[in-house]
Amino acid sequence: MRQFLVIGHDAPTTPDFALDDLAGAAGRLDLLCRCVNSAVFLSHGIREDVRVHLVLADEFTVRFEGGELRHLHPDERNIAARVRGALEERDGAIGHMPADVSPGVELYRMGVAETLETAASEGTVVQLHEDGDPLVDAEPPADPIFVLSDHHDFSNAEADLLAEAAERRVRVGPELLHADHAITVAHNWLDTDGYTSY
C-alpha cells in the first residue's frame, strides 16, 4: 500500500466553511484536495491500494481509502465537500474510533504525531528532502509512506517527528514542488520502478 500523509496547518476543523473560497477562508483546503486527487486518481479509475491522511490543524485527520471510495470526483470542490461532510461528523470521532462519513472516508480525532505513528506501523516512512537521494537512483520500499506539508514548511516539532520516523530520504528533483505535484512524481517513481519497457 502507498500512503500519503499531508499536513494542513491552517485547515478547518469545523464544517462551517464555504466551498466557494477554499484557497482563502478554508485555509488552503484547495491544495489538500489536490493532494487527494493526485494520490487516488488515474485517468479512468481509482488507485485502489492508496490511503491518504489529511491532517487538519493537528486536531483531526480525514482518511481516504482508495479501494473503498465511491462517487468521488477529482475537482477540488467535490473533494472539499467530502472533507466538510467528514467534519460534520466530528462529534462521532472519539479517541482512536473514527466517525464513518461515506464509503472510503473516515474522520479521526488524531493530530500529526498519532496519524504518523498509525501510518508508519504499516510501512516505511519516506521523507522528501532536498538532501535526499535522487529518485532515479533510489529503490522504492514496498509500502512507502510519504509525508508532505501544505504551503507552509514543516514546523520544528513536525520536522523532528519526521526525522525520527523516516527510514529513507529521497529528492524528487532540483525544483521545489507543491505537495500535490510531489505526490504525482512519487507515484510515477513507484509505477515505473523495475519496468525497463513499460
Which residues of this protein are in contact with its own copies, per CB under 8 A?
Answer: 19-20, 22-23, 30-31, 34, 37-38, 41-44, 73-78, 134-136, 171-178, 181, 184-185, 187-188, 191-192, 195-198
Smallest distance from the beta carbon of 10 to its own copies, in angstroms? 14
Please report how close the Cβ of residue 185 comes to its own copies at its closest, in angstroms: 5
Look-up of cell digits 491544495:
31
At closest approach, how far in Å is the CB of 120 from its own copies?
25
φ, ψ of residue 106 to 5 degrees: the values are -135, 150
113 versus 159: smaller Cβ distance to its own copies: 159
Closer to its own copies at the Cβ: 90 or 178?
A: 178
Q: Which is nearer to its own copies, 39 or 107 (CB)?
A: 39
Task: Quote the least distance from Cβ 180 to its own copies, whole Å.
Answer: 8
Cα–Cα distance for residue pair 19/30, rounded to 1 Å: 9
Give the shortest CB-30-to-its own copies separation in angstroms: 4
Handedness of CA 148, 152, 158, 162 (dihedral sign): positive
How far is 158 from 102, CA to CA, in rounded Å?
A: 29
Lookup: cell for 115: 496519524
Contact (Cβ atoms closer than 8 angstroms) between residue 12 and residue 27: yes
In the block, cell 480525514 appears at 62
Nearer to its own copies, 47 or 90 (CB): 47
Q: Which is nearer to its own copies, 109 or 187 (CB)?
A: 187
Answer for the pair 132, 171: CB distance below 8 angstroms, yes or no. yes
AA identity, residue 112: V
